[in-house]
Structure 1
Amino acid sequence: MTSQSEQPGQYPGTVQTQPAGVHGGDPAAAWQQQPAAPPVKQGTNGFAIASLIFGIIGGILFSVIFGIIALTQIKRRGQGGRGLAVTGLVFSGLWAAGIAVLIVVALADGATRNDAGEITEGGSVSSFDLATGDCLNGLKESASITSLPAVPCSQPHEGEVFGTFTVTGDSFPGNTAISSQAEEGCTDRLAQYAPAAADDDSLELFFLHPTSESWAQGDREVVCIANDPSGQRTGSLKD
């Protein structure tokens, strides 16, 4: 019989090997050479989605705020949605540019008044900015009139503003009641503005009064207009 001594941890018939990829080097080096796994994205950023939605519907302020927050969070957290946030900001920019163009057009299209408040150059006038003595065109029955084309009274026009007054009340009285108040108040003021016009059977009363919607926004003004349905006139009723 033959006796054989063995080192601890070694057994007959086994071969010890070095860690894979390491030939006589430090085993830790093999671990350091392995590429790091890419970071796992944490889903789509909620602010990015909100920025896109508000950008589409024209909520410029919210879209810009949410878009900036989203881009900051996406970079820090590794989330998705950068394209959504950028698109929302782009839509907001388009909305802002469009509104700016409309404002410029509206200002350019507005009527010009002199220091006395008389219209010297024709253009659109807001129904809330109409004044006694303004001569107007485009007088048509409508449920809502926000503006009217105004011209100097020396030019052909359909009607002339001869008075304005304010109705009172805590709540909207209804269309029938407010129309009666407007007609009564305008009839009295026409004789004061131009006595001859009050006796002119060819003239009709055309008045603007608050609606239930404008009343809720604080509108209480009635605008009295003398209208000639047969055609346009030249010159003021007071001439």
Structure 2
Amino acid sequence: MKYAFEVDEVPCSQGHDGEVFASFRVNHTGYPGDDEVLELAETKCADLQFGYVLDSWADFGDADIYYFTPDRTTWRRGDRHITCIFGASDPKHPLEGSLRSDTTTLDA
């Protein structure tokens, strides 16, 4: 598990390391454990990606799915959210533009 201590917001028009595409709350009363949180993140982020990129034929290019998750320590502080991110597969080649699509950007 890796940790991020700082995240800078930049416009999609600039090169960037990641693009947030979804966030959701974990509805457990107690911390479910690292394995269950990671499994939930993997499953739900994979499902949610097509609500952000409506084109099921889309080529994500050099982007993979990553996520920020609560751990036992942040859970005790009230962190209950998982954030889904399209991230650059290769840090030497940042993402450019947005992967977002909606009905105005799709055609036959």
Fold equivalence (TM over 0.5)? yes
Aligned counterpart, 2:19: 160
Q: Return the letter of the residue paired with 2:65.
A: L
Give a deviation string over 1:50-72, Cα, whole Å, max 9, x none.
xxxxxxxxxxxxxxxxxxxxxxx
Tell me the TM-score normalized by structure 2. 0.80
Does the residue aligned with 1:165 lie in a helix, a strand or coil? strand
Separation (CA, whole Å) in 2 of partners of 1:147 and 1:167: 22
Secondary structure of the equivalent of 2:82?
strand
- CA drift of 1:164 comes to 0.4
- The answer as to 2:87 corresponding to 1:227 is yes
Larger radius of gyration: 1
For each residue in 1:68-117, what CA deviation from the matched residue of structure 2 results, as whole angstroms up to 9, or x when unmatched?
xxxxxxxxxxxxxxxxxxxxxxxxxxxxxxxxxxxxxxxxxxxxxxxxxx
Q: Is the 8 A contact 2:60 2:99 kept in 1?
A: no
In 1, Cα distance between equivalents of 2:96 and 2:4? 24
- 1:28-67 aligned within 5 A: none
Do structure 1's residue 185 and structure 2's residue 47 form an aligned pair?
A: no
Report the TM-score when normalising by structure 1: 0.38
Shift of 1:203: 2.2
Counterpart position of 1:44 = none
Which structure features the higher share of helix residues?
1
Describe the shift of the 1:224–1:199 C-alpha distance in structure 2 as closer, same or farther (beyond 3 A): same
Q: Could you tell me the percent identity over the aligned residues? A: 32
Stretches of structure 1 lacking an aligned partner (at least 5 in a row): 1-140
Alignment of 1:82-231 (within 5 A): 142=2, 144-196=3-55, 199-200=59-60, 202-230=62-90, 231=93
Give the superposed CA RMSD.
1.9
User: For residues 21 and 94 of structure 2, what CA distance do their matches in structure 1 show?
Assistant: 16
How many pairs are equivalent?
98
Secondary structure of 2:7's counterpart equals: strand
CA distance in 2, matches of 1:204, 1:177: 21
Letter in 2 for 1:150: E
